[in-house]
């Protein structure tokens, strides 16, 4: 009997501390707001969304033996992520991500402490997971681990695997940029694409030229999230697409939209859907995330995304 294809996530698993202001933020002052605690980390978030959509997903990451590490592990298990291969590091604090959202639900500033995965992931850890990694149909990862770990992962992956990377931020996009030709699928935003392509983007023509630069380097698929403007897509076959859904009327929390988009895109990839259906499904997942106060919408499911598509398709 053929085994069900699975996805392996390799990257950050954080505790997310989100502060949402109730009014316009006054800098250098105390602002009334709502503060929430949740499990996070870009790769972990993508894995949770995938698990909630019904995919078989396994997480490779590092957490501390502290209360935050236990919180992260419990959240992963509750969502259905396989964490049996997770590395627990004694005496080291788990990763933490702090974000401040403005009164409109958009991120004003974020700060991450990824010390555990950048400095305390043993060199032998990923090597010991070689069989698991090479058995996956899709690998989803991020550059938060640092360049050395990213390169070690890429060396372990096989040519037929789909390796998908979210650059996460402009700072981490600089880590990824020299190696973009070794990646199958990338999901940057406009600012991250500028760094990956080494050029400014001021127009749709610039957007397409920047994408073409990455494809020429060896990238196979490019998904550029453009917020309310939708998504730009380009691949190695020469296909170029722009897709858009009707935006939400009220954005609650923008911090998890990109992770939800990536997860739905990979779920669609796992199931062999065409590009148009993949883009629409991914954008619907972004809307699902924007509409909930948590970084990950706990109601994430295929049926929810189908309902969102019905309501937001233009």
Q: pLDDT by residue (tens digit) across 34-91?
A: 998 889 999 999 999 999 999 999 999 999 999 999 999 999 999 999 999 999 999 9
Distance CA 167, CA 185 (A): 11
Q: What is the mean pLDDT of residues 104-124?
A: 87
Distance CA 252, CA 295 (A): 10
Instruction: Answer whether residue 3 shows pLDDT above 80.
Output: no
Reported pTM: 0.91
More confidently predicted of 256 and 40: 40
Q: pLDDT confidence of 246, banded at 50, 70, 90?
A: confident
Cβ proximity of 59 and 83 under 8 Å: yes
Provide the pairing of β-strand 138-141 with 7-10.
parallel
Which runs of E-coded beta strand occur in the chain?
7-10, 14-21, 33-40, 57-60, 62-64, 87-89, 95-101, 107-113, 138-141, 162-165, 185-186, 221-225, 231-235, 240-243
More confidently predicted of 265 and 298: 265
Instruction: Answer whether residue 4 shows pLDDT above 90.
Output: no
What mean pLDDT, rounded, does the chain reach?
93
Q: Residue 97 is encoded by which pair of tokens?
A: 């991500």
Count Cα neighbours of 86 within 13 Å in the Cβ-side half-sphere.
28
Distance CA 252, CA 294 (A): 9
Q: What is the mean pLDDT of residues 206-220?
A: 98
% pLDDT > 70, the chain: 98
Q: What is the mean pLDDT of residues 108-120?
A: 89
Q: Residue 82 is encoded by which pair of tokens?
A: 């396989």
What's the confidence (pLDDT) of residue 293? Answer: 73
Cβ proximity of 53 and 284 under 8 Å: no
DSSP state of 211: H
CA distances from 56 to 38, 48, 59, 216, 267 (A): 22, 10, 10, 33, 10
DSSP state of 5: P
Q: pLDDT confidence of 294, banded at 50, 70, 90?
A: confident
- Would you tell me how many other CB atoms lie within 10 Å of the CB of residue 231? 23
Distance CA 146, CA 175 (A): 7
Cβ proximity of 314 and 245 under 8 Å: yes
Cα 60-61-62 angle, rounded to 5 deg: 145
Q: What is the mean pLDDT of residues 105-121?
A: 88
Q: What does the pLDDT look like over 171-200, one tens digit per residue?
A: 999 999 999 999 999 999 999 999 999 999
Instruction: Answer whether residue 1 shows pLDDT above 60.
Output: no
More confidently predicted of 258 and 292: 258
Reduced DSSP (H G I as helix, E B as strand, rest coil) percent helix, strand, coil of the chain, to 5: 40, 25, 35
Q: Residue 63 is encoded by which pair of tokens?
A: 């957490």
What's the confidence (pLDDT) of residue 110? Answer: 87
List Cβ<8 Å contacts ≥24 apart for 105-109. 105/20, 105/250, 105/251, 105/252, 105/253, 105/254, 105/290, 106/251, 106/254, 107/254, 107/255, 108/21, 108/25
């Amino acid at each position: 009997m053929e085994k069900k294809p699975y996805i392996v996530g390799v990257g950050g698993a954080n505790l997310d501390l989100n502060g949402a202001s109730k009014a316009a933020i006054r800098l250098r002052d105390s602002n009334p707001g709502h503060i929430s605690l949740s499990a996070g980390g870009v790769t972990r978030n993508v894995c949770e969304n995938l698990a909630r959509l019904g995919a078989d997903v396994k997480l490779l990451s590092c957490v501390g033996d502290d209360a935050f590490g236990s919180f992260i592990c419990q959240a992963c298990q509750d969502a259905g992520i396989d964490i049996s291969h997770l590395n627990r590091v004694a005496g080291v604090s788990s990763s933490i991500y702090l974000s401040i959202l403005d009164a409109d639900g958009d991120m004003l500033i974020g700060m991450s402490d990824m010390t555990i995965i950048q400095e305390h992931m043993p060199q032998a850890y990923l090597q010991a997971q070689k069989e698991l990694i090479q058995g996956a149909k899709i690998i989803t990862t991020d550059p938060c681990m640092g360049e050395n770990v990213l390169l070690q992962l890429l060396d372990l992956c096989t040519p037929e695997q789909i390796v998908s990377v979210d650059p996460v931020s402009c700072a981490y996009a600089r880590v990824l940029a020299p190696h973009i030709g070794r990646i199958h699928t990338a999901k940057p935003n406009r600012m991250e694409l500028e760094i990956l392509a080494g050029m400014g983007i001021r127009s749709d023509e610039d957007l397409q030229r920047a994408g073409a630069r990455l494809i020429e380097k060896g990238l196979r698929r490019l998904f550029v999230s453009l917020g309310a403007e939708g998504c730009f897509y380009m691949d190695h076959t020469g296909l170029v697409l722009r897709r858009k859904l009707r935006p939400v009327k009220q954005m609650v929390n923008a911090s998890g939209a990109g992770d939800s988009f990536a997860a739905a895109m990979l779920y669609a990839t796992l199931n062999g859907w065409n590009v148009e259906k993949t883009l629409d499904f991914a954008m619907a997942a972004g809307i699902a995330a924007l509409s909930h106060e948590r970084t990950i919408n706990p109601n994430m499911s295929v049926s929810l995304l189908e309902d969102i598509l019905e309501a937001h398709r233009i």
